[in-house]
Structures are given as C-alpha cells and as structure tokens.
Amino acid sequence: MSDQPAACRIHVEALGVAFEPQAEHWAERLGLPLQVADGEFALQVGDMGLQLQQLGPDAPGPVRVDFVEGGAAHRRLYGGGSGQMIAKAVGVAQGVRPRVLDATAGLGKDAFVLASLGCEMSLIERQPLIGALLEDGLARGAEDFDVAPIVARMRLLNGNSIEVMRNWEGEPPQVIYLDPMFPHREKTALVKKEMRLFRPLVGDDPDAPALLEAALALASHRVVVKRPRKAPCIEGPKPSHALDGKSSRYDIYPKKALKP
C-alpha cells in the first residue's frame, strides 16, 4: 500500500537514443533515477510505449498497458459483451449504462471492458508507476481508430481514492467498482504475471475497509467489489448478494435500482 513509488529499486531506461527525452520526462515526473547498475525494476520507454520490466534471471517479460492488441482486444471482440459477469455486476442492462468510478484502476483492464460496453468511466490509481503505465496505454489507445472512442470514455485521475471520494465534488458516480489487491500466497501460473509484478510495488491494500466505507458513502446506486472466488468479503457492511465467476466473485452492495 503506497501513494509513492515503492521502496523497490526502480529506474527509468530509454530503449534507444530516440526515447531519451521521454525517459527523462518520466524520470522527472515520477522522481525516479535514470539507468542505475543494480536496479530491481526498469520502467522502459521504447517503440511499444512505456513498460515495466522486472530485472534479474527469472524475471517474467515486461508489463505494459495495451488496449489495442492482445487480451484486451480479444475480450472486446469476443468476450461476451454485456453478458459478462462484470457487466451484470455493475448493472449494465438493456438501456442501462451506468456512470462508474473504478477506484482501484490498476492496469485498467476491468474499466476498459466496461467502457467498451458504453459506460462512462472515471479511474483512480494511487501508485504513480501503475498510473504512468495506464496513462501511456490510454494515450496509445486514443491513436487507434477502433479503440479511440472507448478510451474517450475513460478519465484517469491520480491519487488516493479514499481521499478523492471523501472530498468528491459534483454529481456522484452511480456505481463504484473496487478491486483491491488480495494477498495470494500461491506462486502458480494462476497468479498472473501482472499480479506477481504488482505485489512488490503495490502491497496488499490493507486499507480496503476504508475504501469500501468511502465508496458506500458516495455511490448513488451501488458499490461492487471484485474478490477472488473463495476470499472473504471486505471487512465492514456485508453485501446483499454476490455473482460468482470462474475465479472471481463480485460482491454487490445496492443502494438504489438502476433504471433505463
């Protein structure tokens, strides 16, 4: 849990001379050094955009946000549309496309699914490094003909959602979606590469109960919490019901019916 770049040794690296100005820009913005000898992670700038690479012999490949190709594109085209569990959980239905605040944006995958279905999304991410990857992915998405209209529905804010929600001004979001980190101990392929990379950077989000409390105070219609299928609910008020997926569960805290 941190609002600051984590205590890991991270540096910024240009993958070619042409990318040096961008590397300097990110280093300055994130308060990170440029190219050091004994780093644990490198935030690399290259022709594929911004990517985070763990360093060392057993490190997995780089992680970047890509809404145009790969998993996100596949899910957008063949992922089941409004029949997907996450869509049902936030209340997407015929004539209903709620305004959603994703208060734990991460790499923006869930938010992208909902934006693809037509939801207006606000996203908040507190880890500046993850926020930087997301910002870069959104910028590249905005240059793609098919993806641009989707990312235009995704507004990224940086900061701690608990504070942002407590001090919210203007119309509140209809639905608030939370997917805080949950402590996984197993080291199998099931724990995705992104998650293995995230954990040392982000921690386990132990302040999830405060996040839930702030979300319940702000959302006008419902709060949805994504959990691993067998995990306990976030401590605090209990959800009224849950939708079970293959590996995830969506706990639903309703406040008011969403109407077309």
Binding residue ranges: 125-126, 179
The maximal CA–CA distance of the chain, rounded, in angstroms, is 57
Please identify which residue in 39, 91, 98, 108 interacts with ligand SAM, judged by CB under 6 A.
108
Strand-pairing partners, residue 51, are: 44
Residue, CB closest to ligand SAM: 106
Q: Of the candidates 213, 215, 112, 207, which has an alpha carbon nearest to the alpha carbon of residue 172?
A: 215
Phi first, then psi, for residue 71 (nearest 5°) are: -55, -45
Q: For tokens 């569960």, name the residue.
A: 249
Closest residue by Cα to residue 155 from 181, 173, 143: 173
CB of 9 to ligand SAM, least distance (A): 19
Show the DSSP H helices in the chain as ranges: 20-30, 70-78, 85-90, 109-116, 128-141, 148-151, 161-166, 193-202, 208-218
Which three-class secondary structure state does DSSP give residue 13?
Answer: strand
160 belongs to the binding site for ligand SAM (CB under 6 A):
yes
Q: Does 181 bind ligand SAM (CB under 6 A)?
A: yes
CB of 81 to ligand SAM, least distance (A): 17
Please identify, using beta-carbon distances, which residue of 12 and 124 lies nearer to ligand SAM: 124
How many residues of this chain interact with ligand SAM, rule: CB under 6 A? 20
102 φ, ψ (degrees, to nearest 5): -95, 100
Nearest-approach distance from CB 247 to ligand SAM, in angstroms: 13
> Given the complex with ligand SAM, which of 14 and 140 has the nearer CB atom?
140
Q: Is the Cβ of residue 27 or residue 130 nearer to ligand SAM in the bound state?
A: 130
Binding-site string for ligand SAM from residue 191 to residue 210, where x marks contact by CB under 6 A and - marks none: -----------x--x-----
Q: Residue 120 has which token pair?
A: 């207006």
Tokens of 32: 């990170």
Three-state DSSP class for 104?
coil
Q: Which listed residue (66, 125, 135, 251) binds ligand SAM by CB under 6 A?
A: 125
d(CA 127, CA 198): 10
Q: How far is the CB of 194 from ligand SAM (least distance, A)?
A: 7
d(CA 65, CA 55): 19
Segment 206-235, which members bind ligand SAM (CB under 6 A)?
211
**Cβ at position 248, least distance to ligand SAM in Å:** 10
Stretch that binds ligand SAM, among 76-84, 89-97, 119-127, 236-244 (CB under 6 A): 119-127
Residues engaged in binding ligand SAM (CB under 6 A)? 104, 106-110, 124-127, 130, 160-162, 179-181, 202, 205, 211
